[in-house]
Structure 1
């Protein structure tokens, strides 16, 4: 009886997910996202039951929830469900579910926990090579580019994107434009990149998709930063932040707040940077983002000359580093070294004050 109930719940959830998915990329996305959010407590049990009893249902669930999870910045929740499913399924692609398996691997790649994806990644690569035609799920091309694109040659990324340009789904085409506009993925020149992202932004706005709009604005902000247009980057980041806040995508909002605060620091405006870092720390849903926010607060305090506060934030960032986060540990250690150096300079300066900017504010 209990197994029958779990089976019915999983199938019921799958029906809701598949019904909601197309609406998550249009003007009604907030209403449908609210319906899915109400099922939050049933998702992991349904995926867990499906992994043991009906992997096909589990894969369809994970694939169908991909847009919802990423739209709301729920990367870790997505990675957990995908990892749990793959750990039972193994590197085996069920018949007719190649793309669903691929999506599960792409989601699991966002996990911060120890999970060996090597065999799954090999199978995922074979799935992509063997697909005849375009991806069926609009979100696949985006997640593939984000999760695996940076580790592949630009011409290979461009080839997969080009294969999907014959899609008749307008959201997929907008996502391809967005990915094409990332120089790190395709090697596109700055002018071509901006045109591609502007085209994506226009299409996402036409579709009424806030998530797409936020991604495009964020990409334009990044391009503006690369070209030295820091004022424009701050403006575009603020626009993207307004959209992620409307979506309730706290993790994405936290990252955008950190980006804007970094820009304020580059301008020498510590007073504007500090509240953005503080707000980002409140929004942060992962240890990694919390570390970024705390290190930002440490730098802001150091540049303001408040070395005790800077040390406190940097130590908290170091202590918050999860296992395997060597880069984060190195950044925290580097900030602690910078704080110590600032303290030594202040101590050696006649009449040195605890609040000594070390020349940073004056130099901008």
Structure 2
């Protein structure tokens, strides 16, 4: 069954989940095939949570048994559900990759494997997997270049990595794959000298993709770059925008980063009272997830104290 039978213009349809649930109860092999079949769609639409939920359901039924002839399908399920997969399932997935001598059958497999397992493999293993998939279709070739340039995956020099990412970006543009473009841009921003324009383009894509978390983080990063360049007005706009987005989408870590950014802008502008007010908000939060943010806010408070003492 094609995914167009499940999805319409409005996006994800709950019928997919129902179909996988029914298949898990009656035909686990069919359920595994469904997870593999919809992997590309889930990824390209930023539906990692939906993919993980479906994969976890199938893996709970299969356990440590890889159905005959469905090795790559099992690998994809583990890649989607890696966060909750059993250690034995992770090891089985690794064995499948090592035992595969040719290219993957599903285009999305090489990218998901590289991003999920790649950071824990040697650069030589990653390059070997990429090399045997570089003659695939246009999307696979774009994904291979993305992985070649992705920070921490291969031993590519910064120059080679940047070139690979720019090649991936161009290919994803031709394919009109927004998530591919977004990944290429967010990776590229880490290795270029002046990433403001790249962050701005990535931010436009994040907004179109309705990726609030990513948008907030990009706004904070661009705001900090503007602050360091001395453009306090632009920095303040970005941090304020990030704060509004974080509060609307309930993103406490992004909100904390925005408050700290606004405090720095206020300190640099000489408005120490406003800086204190923003930092006080962060320090007052008692969530364990905000421990690093509170530490950073305390550091900023010390800078304020020194600024007041020298005034």
Instruction: Report the TM range for the smaller structure's normalisation.
Output: 0.7 to 0.9
1:332 to 289, 293, 300: 293
1:249 positional shift:
4.0
Q: 1:246 corresponds to which residue?
A: 208
1-structure distance, mates of 2:208, 2:184? 16
Unpaired stretches in structure 2, ≥5 consecutive residues:
267-271
Question: Which segment is superposed worse, 170-179 or 88-97?
Answer: 88-97
Unpaired stretches in structure 1, ≥5 consecutive residues:
1-14, 22-31, 322-327, 353-364
1:199 positional shift:
1.6
TM-score (norm 1): 0.72
Alignment of 1:132-171 (within 5 A): 132-167=101-136, 169-171=137-139
1-structure distance, mates of 2:253, 2:5? 34
8 Å Cα contact 1:62/1:104 also seen in 2: yes
Give runs of ≥4 in structure 1 deviating > 6 Å.
none
Q: How big is the alpha-carbon RMSD for the aligned residues of Structure 1 and Structure 2?
A: 2.8
SS at match of 1:34: coil
SS at match of 1:165: coil
Inter-CA distance 241–72: structure 2 relative to 1 (3 Å threshold): farther
Deviation per residue, 1:47-67 (Å, 9 max, x gap): 333333222222222222323
Q: 1:44 corresponds to which residue?
A: 17
2-structure distance, mates of 1:80, 1:42? 14
Alignment of 1:270-349 (within 5 A): 270-281=235-246, 290-303=251-264, 304=266, 305=272, 306-316=275-285, 319=287, 321=289, 329=291, 331-342=292-303, 344-345=305-306, 349=309
Higher relative contact order (CA 8 A, sep 6+): 1
Alignment of 1:1-364 (within 5 A): 15-17=1-3, 34=9, 36-37=11-12, 39=13, 41-109=14-82, 111=83, 115-167=84-136, 169-224=137-192, 228-229=193-194, 233-268=195-230, 269=232, 270-281=235-246, 290-303=251-264, 304=266, 305=272, 306-316=275-285, 319=287, 321=289, 329=291, 331-342=292-303, 344-345=305-306, 349=309
1:127 positional shift:
0.9
1-structure distance, mates of 2:37, 2:155? 31
TM-score (norm 2): 0.84
1:308 positional shift:
3.0
8 Å Cα contact 1:262/1:296 also seen in 2: no
Q: 1:27 corresponds to which residue?
A: none
SS at match of 2:50: helix
1:143 positional shift:
0.9
Inter-CA distance 206–339: structure 2 relative to 1 (3 Å threshold): closer
8 Å Cα contact 2:253/2:293 also seen in 1: no
2-structure distance, mates of 1:280, 1:212? 23
1-structure distance, mates of 2:23, 2:49? 19
8 Å Cα contact 1:254/1:279 also seen in 2: no
SS at match of 1:164: coil
Alignment length, in residue pairs? 300
1:92 positional shift:
1.8
